[in-house]
């Protein structure tokens, strides 16, 4: 049950680009981590470049520009480093394929937590005591 937030600069194709980025991240999660295909919870936000709400530099020698996309994924702990690296690569490739986003502009963070940290509705902790993904 990943929860995904995607932030990017807006433009003429905000909705189409955001949808494409959301699909790219979801497809990568399904392909690399085995997330169920109907397990999609995303918040997609476009920011106006003139408003200056997204900030970035060339940290670690990666030149970023206004095409930057911030992807924050919260998920339950348990993936290997290799799985995470495969996820990052696949997100970057699919973001380029689906949304035309240069891979150097795809910035991904993962935050892991435990089963008790999730309520999927009805005020219940559905994952407590279950073996679900």
CB 68 within 8 A of CB 54: yes
- The number of beta carbons lying within 10 Å of the beta carbon of residue 28 is 24
DSSP letter for 41, please: -
Q: Determine which helix (DSSP H) or strand (DSSP E) holds 28, and give its type and residue range.
A: helix 14-33
Active site residue 103: no
Both tokens of 13, joined, read: 């194709």
Tell me which residues are annotated as active site. 2
């Amino acid at each position: 049950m990943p929860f995904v937030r995607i932030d990017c600069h807006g433009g003429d194709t905000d909705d189409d680009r955001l949808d494409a980025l959301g699909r790219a991240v979801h497809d990568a999660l399904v392909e690399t981590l085995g997330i169920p295909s109907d397990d999609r919870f995303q918040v997609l936000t476009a920011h106006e470049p003139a408003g200056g709400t997204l900030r970035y530099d060339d940290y670690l020698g990666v030149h970023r520009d206004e095409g930057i996309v911030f992807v924050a994924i919260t998920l339950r702990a348990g993936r290997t480093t290799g799985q995470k690296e495969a996820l990052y690569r696949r997100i970057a490739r699919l973001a380029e394929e689906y949304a035309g986003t240069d891979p150097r502009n795809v910035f991904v963070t993962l935050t892991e937590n435990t089963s008790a940290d999730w309520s999927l509705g009805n005020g219940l902790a559905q994952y407590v005591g279950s073996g679900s993904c």
